[in-house]
Amino acid sequence: MVKCEDCGRVFEAAELKEVQEYRGEYWGIPSFETMYYCPFCDGEAISDYKPKEMWVSFYLQDGTQNGQTIEADSIEDAERLLRDEYGKNWGGIADWDFY
């Protein structure tokens, strides 16, 4: 995974926009350089990314409480991931902590 430092989005390296940019000629032969850009904002500041592990205690609409370890950068990311996983039964986050 990689992260765009310009817009903050995280995505797979395969999603990078690859562009061949002309750099001039070398002994009469055209020279190109492969440049990689963010597919969302065209930013050049791309870095490797490894999400942090965090423990999240949460509750569901049916009243059950649960906890699990997930990889997320922030509590907002964790809530989005859990909301996607549990759908309409999602209730909210009760407690959390980074490892």
State which H helix or E strand residue 39 sits in: none
Mean pLDDT along residues 18-42: 95
C-alpha 58/C-alpha 54 separation (Å) is: 13
Parse the chain into domains and list their residue ranges.
2-48, 53-98
User: What does DSSP assign to residue 11?
Assistant: E
Cα–Cα distance between 51 and 74 in angstroms, integer?
9
Q: Which residues fall within 8 angstroms of residue 93, CB to CB, at 6 or more apart?
A: 56, 57, 58, 75, 78, 79, 82
Q: What is the DSSP letter of 87?
A: G
Per-residue pLDDT of 25-36, as tens digits, reads: 999 999 999 999
pLDDT tens digits, residue range 51-84? 788 888 888 888 888 888 888 878 888 888 888 8
Q: What is the value of pTM for the model shown?
A: 0.54
